[in-house]
Structure 1
Amino acid sequence: MFGRLMPTEGKFFDLFNQHAELCVKGAREMVALMSNFDDLENRVHAIEGVEKQADKITYATVDLLHKTFITPLDRDDIHKLITRMDDILDLLEDAAQTVSLYDLHAVTPEAKRLAELVLACAEKVKEAVGMLHNMDNSRQIVAVCEEIDRLESDADHVMRAAMSKLFRDEPDVRHLIKMKAIYEILETVTDRCEDVANIIEGIIVENA
């Protein structure tokens, strides 16, 4: 009787989907920022705004977790998933603010490529999260997670090549330091996307 009076699944999957959509939106803004510095300030503000929206969804998810008696997934998995998704946008905000702080007016093709890989990862995160409500999708979800792993490996290769080129060819030490920081942040975003994929794969193992 008591259990029937308590909230059950709530809107966890809706919240996951909303957050994943913001991850994609933030990543698109990052690609646009890396491609055109004419509107840098507005791009940075846009990414900061997306990150704040995502924070509200994260808080709402955690709050709902505390209020829900029966959850559709393991409580720890819900918390880990929304937290790692939030890390994606936190890092995108860090990257945008770092570009602004360092007063960069152009970036290397490798930085642009890393931003594109971030977007590709974010789109795959959204795709995987969008299927998570139905464990009949488990095979497709695992395939998407494997694609995220591949994209993260691509980002590793791009960063290693970019670092090698930077230390070999860049004569300006200040610019070298700035670009190194941007490379590392963007590559770490793909790491966090891979973390999300790993969490989702764990959820599939537990529930499918």
Structure 2
Amino acid sequence: MARKNEYNYFDAFVNLSKFSLNSAEILHNTLRNFGTINLSDKIKEMHEVEHSADIAKHDVVNRLLKEFLPPIEREDIISLSQKIDDITDAVEDVLIRIDIFNVKSIRPEILEFTQLIVDCCNSLYLALQEFENFKKSMTLHSQIVKINSLEEEGDKLYINAVKNLYQKSKDPIELMIWTEIMHRLERCCDACESVADDMHSIVMKNS
């Protein structure tokens, strides 16, 4: 627990997760309104979020270097900070690939995937709000379980989407583009689950 006037690492985790949630919302809204917006502006907006997240992550590490007695193990703070930041990076990667591959329209299942990523990031944000009180929280465990369940939904969606793609298209360029994009989307869900797994491990070590 953070004492009064001390740097609160748990608040920092929540702040980092806000960047992830923001990036997921930008991705979903950009693809949902694809064709009616300026993609380059959205990429710039996304990069600004990613850059701010990097600064926030470095602040956590810099604070930790000066910390005498952190509330949880240093390695756990560094790992959790990095893995939350990895989500933001993974989400940005999707939008970058959309631009690189010169995508002209968005497949319906892609919007299902981006909504799932928003849900996953939101559940993670709620879980991290509870994380500081992990010894007493009545909802943290259920939030972690929900993130794991959403990741499983992501796996199923990825398998079905790729299978459907290869059943309906024989165009090698189209197959290459959407296989890569779907893989990047699935990695976003994996990144969320990785944070949830870290949280569970920290709870178990400190309970």
TM-score, structure 2 as length reference: 0.93
When structure 1 is superposed on structure 2, of 12-21 and 128-137 the one drifting more is: 128-137
Instruction: Give the conservation status (yes or no) of the 8 Å contact 1:138–1:204.
Output: no
2:68 corresponds in structure 1 to: 69
Gaps of 5+ in 1: 1-7
- 3-state secondary structure, aligned to 2:139: helix
- 3-state secondary structure, aligned to 2:105: coil
Instruction: Give the conservation status (yes or no) of the 8 Å contact 1:20–1:122.
Output: yes
When structure 1 is superposed on structure 2, of 8-17 and 36-45 the one drifting more is: 8-17
Q: CA deviation at 1:137?
A: 4.0
For the residues of structure 2 that align with 1:91 and 1:137, how far apart are their CA atoms? 32
Percent identity over paired residues: 26
- 3-state secondary structure, aligned to 2:82: helix
1:146 corresponds in structure 2 to: 145
For the residues of structure 2 that align with 1:72 and 1:97, how far apart are their CA atoms? 37
For the residues of structure 2 that align with 1:117 and 1:187, how far apart are their CA atoms? 10
Gaps of 5+ in 2: none
For the residues of structure 1 that align with 2:147 and 2:172, how far apart are their CA atoms? 34
1:23 corresponds in structure 2 to: 20
Higher helix share: 1
Instruction: Give the conservation status (yes or no) of the 8 Å contact 1:44–1:97.
Output: yes
1:131 corresponds in structure 2 to: 130
- 3-state secondary structure, aligned to 1:31: helix
Does residue 109 of structure 2 align to residue 89 of structure 1?
Answer: no
- 3-state secondary structure, aligned to 1:171: coil
For the residues of structure 2 that align with 1:112 and 1:133, how far apart are their CA atoms? 33
Instruction: Report the aligned-residue RMSD.
Output: 1.4
For the residues of structure 2 that align with 1:158 and 1:135, how far apart are their CA atoms? 31
Equivalent pairs, count: 201
Does residue 101 of structure 2 align to residue 106 of structure 1?
Answer: no
Q: CA deviation at 1:14?
A: 2.0
TM-score, structure 1 as length reference: 0.92
Instruction: Give the conservation status (yes or no) of the 8 Å contact 1:9–1:71.
Output: no
